Chain A
Amino acid sequence: NAGVMQNPRHLVRRRGQEARLRCSPMKGHSHVYWYRQLPEEGLKFMVYLQKENIIDESGMPKERFSAEFPKEGPSILRIQQVVRGDSAAYFCASSPPELVVTQYFGPGTRLLVL
């Protein structure tokens, strides 16, 4: 049973470009969470999604950030017009519907904005 997959593992963007981060949850998991880890800090919750629904986006910046989890395919975290402050590690986690409380993390995408 493959774990949570994230790609790319490393992403370099110039200021003003768009960044697309992908997350494929573990098989059978229908809940996806995105977290951001700034340098030398802990992880901060961004958004919680189920298939085709955003359940809680209270941690998402109001502008430039969006997330989706379509019926088919991976969850996508999209950052438009990136700025240097967006440089961070972005982690995705998934959980099964019968044990939502336990989250399994992917390896993360490290975004560097030049």
Chain B
Amino acid sequence: AQSVTQLDSQVPVFEEAPVELRCNYSSSVSVYLFWYVQYPNQGLQLLLKYLSGSTLVKGINGFEAEFNKSQTSFHLRKPSVHISDTAEYFCAVSAPFGNEKLTFGTGTRLTIIP
């Protein structure tokens, strides 16, 4: 079984400042890793995913994440945030050949301060 820990439930950041949202996972097998964003009262939108290959993954809206196997982490970063980035961000894992069901973290609420 897999588990995901998002250490920060809320992260306030000034507009145009950089941000890092932390995600750690636990698994006895190799995993696929995902970041999703949820705007208020909407569904989840895929930001980026790591399946294999390069450990630095670039996604939409200027976000990127780095897979670190030794630290079992998949932190999300953006060099300069905008007001429109205010949302809830979820890290998720799935196991290959495990029916691909996603196990989610509890989310990090990113608030951009003007």
Interface string of A77-114 (1 = CB under 8 A from B): 00000000000000101010000111111111010000
Q: Quick one: which of B32, B43, B51, B96 has the most chain A CB within 10 A?
A: B43
Known A-B contacts A101-B94, A102-B46, A107-B43; A43 and B102 likewise in contact (beta carbons under 8 Å): yes
Number of A residues with CB within 8 Å of any CB on chain B? 27
- Chain B residue with Cβ nearest A108: B43
Q: Does B43 lie within 8 Å of A42, measured CB to CB?
A: no
Whether a CB of chain B sits under 8 angstroms from the CB of A18 is no
Interface string of A28-67 (1 = CB under 8 A from B): 0001010100000111110010000001100100000000
Interface residues of B in 40-64 (CB under 8 A from A): 41-46, 49, 51
Interface string of B73-104 (1 = CB under 8 A from A): 00000000000000000101010100111111
Which B residues are CB-close (under 8 A) to A110? 41
Q: How far is the CB of B106 from chain A (nearest CB, A)?
A: 5
Which B residues are CB-close (under 8 A) to A42? 90, 104-107
The 7 A-B residue pairs with the shortest CB-CB distance in the complex, in nearest-first order: A42-B104, A105-B44, A107-B43, A105-B43, A45-B101, A42-B106, A56-B99
